[in-house]
Structure formats: structure tokens, C-alpha cells
């Protein structure tokens, strides 16, 4: 890679929104905005309307089709005119409204909606509170996913206490049915139920807790029975295959409480945590489907779950693995917000809505069971919500291995994904209403969609593979200290964000000590039986390397990744079948490089 190309790529990565404006923003004619007499414009005093808004409103038939509340995406603009910090908003989100007024600085409201809210006697909470009530009462809202408002300073648009409206106007039951599946992990279960029952005591909630065991060893069965006597939950042993959906449905049949909580046995409730009434207060609201909450990995530093969205590769946990010491987006990991789905590791729902959705679909044994239930609730016009103002700890994968790590489970996962996509074909084609179309659709960080940056990872199929050329074989073997590298992952993936399926992914990082990162390209030499392939890789941003190796130059893009169609290979390779080549050209244009063999 040439130095200028490397620097340009770093510049684009550093300001992706500028690239988005250049690549994606719709070019429209500018014109003066003229509102029909039956509409009123509410504009934040510290911002400007985009001069192309009239054309956008016309294209979306905002007035012709009678939408009663209209809002757009927005960004901020500094004194030099530079636009930054875009806010790509969700579609109608009644629970998110209780956290903050996400329609933002520009709202157009039909006058009859204004009159009905005024007639309802909304208390004097200021203009923002009034607009929030209009948004809540809207019967036909329109979100235009284009940036049509430019704020001149940062606004939070009235963040509220997420618990302020919990259960407002509804009666909260004092009992809760909890269904937990557990097998051969009594130590995990005790860690879970001890915190759960302590929380219930603090909040004066009566638990109707059922633990279902589908085949523990006899010694563990005895331990489960001891825990049942100690904590007062009901223990059912039924030796059968692990079919998550069927076992959970069985648990529901053994309980009577109005509200159901499905909980993994590897969930830990932090000491002193108050959360049950918060979740129950949301579950009883008229529009609520499933209720989840933020889950952190052990240590309480990294996010495991703060809501599930539909990316191009399927249902995905946004910001999974990211540090929770930062606030992402407009409070994505901090506030109550509507999401497409929540994880079954901690999922609450009213019994009647669970039954209306058909319970857990037993055609799905493990994968997609929770997302399927949430999708069914969305189809029934309910809103799933994730409460991110508190967290529980999820010891994920302690109880069982990831499905992608075992061949038979991998193909089961593939089968169940295909079933889910057939079942909800029309819903999926319409996209996730709470994930803006201007976002990548590929990344967990909800970054802006940029064609030149979204997927730089090359994919090799049978037609693209070729034997390793001479320049790979001629690379000299690196001596100790010349290369710093790590092959972090080599494994089979089910699918990716751009439609590839059943591929081998190889990724990691590497650079030549003391040399600028742009002088050498990282290539993978992959051994496959009697053949070897020389594969180009995509450069990946790795800010951590700059921190760990502060004296090295230009190593921000020293991450690498490559994908290979697994059917193109004779078998599944491991790290021992991989070498890295750092290739470049000398002053005379001759090939040069190092190899890690």
C-alpha cells in the first residue's frame, strides 16, 4: 500500500461521517419550506433546517398521506461549517421516548394531534415534554431517514429517569414466575438463585421459581435437590434432549403467575441490585412485548447484551464485547430503548402475550428461540424493550460451548437460521425499525454506512484461489524480533454481513518492527493438503496496537482479515496450516518481504 493511500484510508476511518456525506447523502434541489395550514413546525432555537427538506417531505408524501408527526435525522455543525456527530434515529419507539425525546430538534405536528394533546391536559413540562406527549399520542408517525436538521450545539433532548414512567397507570403484580434451565451446574445455579431470591426479598416480590433439569448426573441431582430445599424453588428432573424452546414451554406450564421471567442459570444478580419491579413495570404496559436488560461479562467491564438488532448477517448483539465505561450513540447502553429483540438469557413477558405469540417455537431447539419469540411479538404490534440503566452479570458460555465450535451444532444453527428467515421473510425484508438504514447493517458499533469502509475483507471462492506464487516462496524467513504478529482467529463462520456463508475466517494483526505500516502488505499463506494458497487480506483498524507498541510507526491499520469459502478447501485448516507473509517492493520495484514459517 502506498503511503498516500494509507494516510487517506486513516483519514476516512477517522471521520467516517464526512465520507458518508460524500458518498451517501441524497442530492436534492434546495427550496423554501411551505407547510400546509393544518401543520405546525417545532424547531429547536439552536439549529438550522436543511434547505433540501421541502424536496424530502414531498418525496416521502409527508403531508399528502396525512402523517400526524414527522421527524428527520440530524447532525451538528461547528462554526467552520464542518458537520459531525450524526444522529440516525429509530422509527416510532414509545419506550425510548420515556428516556429522551429522540425526534430531536425538528418536529412537524398535525394540528389535530396538537389539539388532542392539549385537551388531554398535559402538565406544564415545557415544550419538550409537550412534544413527547404528541409523539406518544401519534397514530401515524413518519421518520424520514435523511439529515434535515443541523444543530449548532450538542443537545440531549431531555434525558429522563428511565424508571419514572415504569408501570405508570398500570397495576403491578406482586408475584413472578421464573423459569430456569440447568444441567450439571449446581454451582452456577446457586450463584444465580441466591442473588435472585435476595432481590425478590428486597423488592417484596413473591417468586414462583421453577428449575428444569434435562439429565444431570446423579450426584448433581442430589445437589440440585438440596438447593431446592434451601431456596424454595421447584425442581423438575426430566431426562430428555436439550431443546430450549420445549423445556421453557414446559416450565411455563408448571407456573401460574401473570408475568414470566426466563433466566439462564449463568446469570448473576449483583449484590443489592433492584431490578425486578423495573422490569415488571415495563412488562405490564399495554404496548410492551418482551423486556430485557443490559448484561455484562464477568468483571462488569464489557457489554454482552444491550439489545439485539437485525444486521445483514442476522440477529446480532450491538456493542457486544465493547467496554461499558463509555456511552455509545445517544445512550444506547445507558437508557431504556426499543429494540428488535432481547436475549433469552434474561427475558420477561406477560403470560397472555407469550401465549398470543405461540410461546417458544419448538421447531427451533436452541438458536433463534428468543429472537423468534420477539419477532412474533413485533408481528403482533408489541414493542420489545431493553432496560440499560442497570445491569446483571452473564457468565456466557460457561454452561455450554458456542454452537459454532462444534460441527453438528454448527449445521443445526445453520438450519435453524434458515427456518427463522423463512418464517419471518416479510418482516426481515422490511428491516429492523429500530436500526436506521443509514447505519452499516454489518457492524456491532452502529457506525455509518460507507461503501469504501464497510467491508474491506476479501473473500476467496473456488474460482479465486490460486497456488502460492514465487514472491511468497521467496520471502525470507523472519528472524526473531523482525516481525510482531498474532493469528488471533482461524475458524469456520456460518455467515457474514454481506451474504457469504460457511467460510473460513483468518484474522489477527502484524507488522514489521521499526518499519512504517504502509511499507508492507500482510498476506496469508494457507496450506491445504498438497497445495498452498497466497491470500490478500483486508486491513483492519487496531487502536490497541498503538497503545501497546507506542514506538512503532503507522501501525493503526495493522489488523488483518481474510475469508475463504470452506467448500473450496479439502478440509478445515488450523493455525498450524497458516503462515503470514509481509510483502513489499524495494527501491527498484523488486519483491521483498518476510515470512513467519
Domain locations in the chain? 25-151, 175-430, 455-595
User: What is the C-alpha to C-alpha distance for residues 367 and 244, in angstroms, rounded to an integer?
Assistant: 9
CATH of 25-151, one of 3.40.50.720, 3.40.640.10, 3.90.550.10, 3.40.50.620: 3.90.550.10
Residue spans of alpha helices (H) in 68-149: 111-119, 126-137
CB 21 within 8 A of CB 438: no
User: What is the C-alpha to C-alpha distance for residues 396 and 588, in angstroms, rounded to an integer?
Assistant: 54
> Could you report how far apart the first and last alpha carbons of the chain are, in Å?
23
Residue 297 in grid coordinates: 461479562
Residue 592 in grid coordinates: 521483498
In this prediction, residue 15 carries a pLDDT of: 83
In this prediction, residue 125 carries a pLDDT of: 61
In this prediction, residue 399 carries a pLDDT of: 42
Q: Report the Cα 278 to chain-centroid distance in Å.
A: 22
User: What is the C-alpha to C-alpha distance for residues 574 and 111, in angstroms, rounded to an integer?
Assistant: 65
CB 314 within 8 A of CB 371: no
Q: Which segments of 152-205 are extended strands (E)?
A: 175-181
User: What is the C-alpha to C-alpha distance for residues 163 and 65, in angstroms, rounded to an integer?
Assistant: 36
User: What is the C-alpha to C-alpha distance for residues 103 and 95, in angstroms, rounded to an integer?
Assistant: 13
Give the global pTM: 0.83
User: What is the C-alpha to C-alpha distance for residues 596 and 579, in angstroms, rounded to an integer?
Assistant: 6
User: What is the C-alpha to C-alpha distance for residues 265 and 346, in angstroms, rounded to an integer?
Assistant: 10
In this prediction, residue 400 carries a pLDDT of: 45
In this prediction, residue 482 carries a pLDDT of: 86
User: What is the C-alpha to C-alpha distance for residues 484 and 511, in angstroms, rounded to an integer?
Assistant: 6
C-alpha distances out from residue 209 to 180, 205, 221, 341, 514, Å: 8, 12, 17, 24, 61
User: What is the C-alpha to C-alpha distance for residues 364 and 422, in angstroms, rounded to an integer?
Assistant: 13
Which residue is it, cell 414470566?
A: 260
> What is the CATH architecture of 175-430?
Alpha-Beta Complex (3.90)
**φ, ψ at 316 (rounded to 5°):** -140, 145
DSSP 8-class letter at 171: P
Residue 555 in grid coordinates: 501501525
C-alpha distances out from residue 216 to 182, 212, 219, 262, Å: 8, 10, 8, 20
Q: Is 49 exposed, middle or buried, given 0-12, 13-18 or 19+ CB atoms closer than 10 A?
A: middle
DSSP 8-class letter at 439: B
Residue 575 in grid coordinates: 493455525
In this prediction, residue 454 carries a pLDDT of: 53
For the chain, 597 residues long, the average pLDDT of each consecutive 10-residue run is 75 82 90 96 91 96 97 94 94 95 96 93 73 95 97 72 50 88 96 98 96 96 98 96 96 97 97 96 96 95 94 84 89 94 98 98 91 97 97 75 53 81 90 92 79 71 79 68 88 73 89 89 90 89 88 90 91 88 73 76
Residue 351 in grid coordinates: 403470560
Q: Please check whether the two domains, 25-151 and 175-430, share a CATH topology.
A: yes
Cα dihedral 284/367/492/567 (nearest 10): -130
Q: Can you state the angle between helices 369-379 and 407-423, rounded to 10 degrees?
A: 0
CB 322 within 8 A of CB 303: yes
User: What is the C-alpha to C-alpha distance for residues 330 and 334, in angstroms, rounded to an integer?
Assistant: 9
C-alpha distances out from residue 327 to 323, 334, 389, 390, 509, Å: 9, 7, 11, 13, 27
Contacts of 78 (CB under 8 A, 6+ apart): 84
Cβ-based neighbour number of residue 353 at 10 Å: 19
Amino acid at each position: 500500500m502506498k503511503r498516500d493511500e494509507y494516510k487517506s484510508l486513516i483519514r476516512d476511518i477517522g471521520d467516517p461521517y464526512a465520507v458518508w456525506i460524500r458518498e451517501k447523502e441524497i442530492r436534492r434541489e434546495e427550496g423554501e419550506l411551505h407547510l400546509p395550514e393544518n401543520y405546525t413546525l417545532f424547531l429547536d432555537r439552536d439549529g438550522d433546517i436543511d434547505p433540501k427538506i421541502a424536496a424530502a417531505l414531498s418525496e416521502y408524501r409527508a403531508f399528502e398521506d396525512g402523517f400526524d408527526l414527522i421527524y428527520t435525522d440530524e447532525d451538528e455543525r461547528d462554526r467552520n461549517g464542518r458537520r459531525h456527530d450524526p444522529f440516525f434515529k429509530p422509527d416510532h419507539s414509545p419506550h425510548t421516548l420515556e428516556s429522551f425525546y429522540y425526534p430531536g430538534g425538528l418536529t412537524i405536528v398535525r394540528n389535530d394531534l396538537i389539539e388532542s394533546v392539549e385537551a388531554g391536559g398535559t402538565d406544564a413540562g415545557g415544550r419538550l415534554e409537550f412534544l413527547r406527549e404528541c409523539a406518544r399520542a401519534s397514530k401515524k408517525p413518519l421518520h424520514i431517514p435523511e439529515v434535515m436538521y443541523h444543530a449548532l450545539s450538542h443537545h440531549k433532548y431531555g434525558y429522563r429517569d428511565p424508571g419514572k414512567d415504569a408501570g405508570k397507570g398500570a397495576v403491578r403484580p406482586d408475584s413472578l414466575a421464573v423459569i430456569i434451565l440447568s444441567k450439571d451446574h449446581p454451582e452456577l445455579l446457586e450463584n444465580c438463585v441466591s442473588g435472585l431470591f435476595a432481590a425478590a426479598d428486597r423488592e417484596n416480590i413473591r417468586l414462583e421459581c421453577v428449575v428444569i433439569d434435562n439429565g444431570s448426573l446423579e450426584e448433581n441431582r442430589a445437589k440440585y435437590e438440596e438447593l431446592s430445599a434451601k431456596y424454595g424453588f421447584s425442581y423438575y428432573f426430566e431426562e430428555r434432549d436439550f431443546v430450549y424452546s420445549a423445556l421453557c414451554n414446559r416450565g411455563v406450564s408448571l407456573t401460574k403467575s401473570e408475568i414470566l421471567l426466563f433466566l439462564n442459570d449463568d446469570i448473576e444478580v449483583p449484590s443489592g441490585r433492584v431490578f425486578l419491579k423495573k422490569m415488571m413495570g415495563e412488562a405490564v404496559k399495554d404496548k410492551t412485548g418482551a423486556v430485557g436488560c443490559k448484561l455484562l461479562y464477568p468483571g462488569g467491564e464489557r457489554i454482552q447484551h444491550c439489545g439485539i438488532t437485525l444486521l445483514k448477517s442476522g440477529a446480532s448483539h450491538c456493542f457486544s464485547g465493547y467496554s461499558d465505561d463509555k456511552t455509545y450513540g445517544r445512550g444506547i447502553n445507558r437508557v431504556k430503548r426499543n429494540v428488535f429483540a432481547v436475549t433469552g438469557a434474561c427475558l420477561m413477558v406477560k403470560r397472555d402475550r407469550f401465549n398470543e405469540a405461540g410461546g417458544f417455537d419448538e421447531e427451533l431447539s436452541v438458536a433463534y428461540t428468543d429472537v423468534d419469540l420477539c419477532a412474533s411479538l413485533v408481528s403482533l404490534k408489541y414493542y420489545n424493550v431493553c432496560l440499560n440503566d442497570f445491569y446483571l452479570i452473564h457468565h456466557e458460555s460457561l454452561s455450554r460451548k458456542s454452537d459454532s465450535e462444534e460441527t453438528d451444532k454448527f449445521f443445526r444453527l445453520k438450519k435453524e437460521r434458515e427456518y427463522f428467515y423463512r418464517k419471518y421473510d416479510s418482516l426481515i425484508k422490511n428491516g429492523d425499525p429500530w436500526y436506521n438504514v443509514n447505519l452499516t447493517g454489518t457492524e456491532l458499533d452502529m457506525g455509518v454506512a460507507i461503501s469504501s469502509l464497510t467491508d474491506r475483507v476479501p473473500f476467496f471462492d473456488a474460482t479465486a484461489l490460486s497456488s502460492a506464487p514465487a514472491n511468497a516462496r521467496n520471502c525470507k524467513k523472519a528472524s526473531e524480533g523482525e516481525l510482531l504478529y498474532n493469528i488471533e482467529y482461524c475458524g469456520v463462520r456460518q455467515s457474514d454481513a454481506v451474504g457469504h456463508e460457511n467460510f473460513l475466517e483468518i484474522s489477527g494483526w502484524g507488522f514489521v518492527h521499526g518499519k512504517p505500516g504502509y511499507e508492507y502488505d500482510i498476506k496469508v499463506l494457507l496450506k491445504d493438503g498438497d497445495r498452498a494458497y497466497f491470500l490478500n487480506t483486508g486491513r483492519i483498524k487496531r487502536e490497541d496496537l498503538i497503545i501497546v507498541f507506542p514506538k512503532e510507526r503507522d501501525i493503526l491499520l495493522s489488523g488483518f482479515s481474510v475469508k475463504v469459502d470452506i467448500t473450496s478447501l479439502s478440509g478445515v485448516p488450523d493455525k498450524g496450516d497458516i503462515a503470514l507473509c509481509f510483502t513489499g517492493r524495494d527501491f527498484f520495484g523488486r519483491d521483498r518481504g518476510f515470512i513467519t514459517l
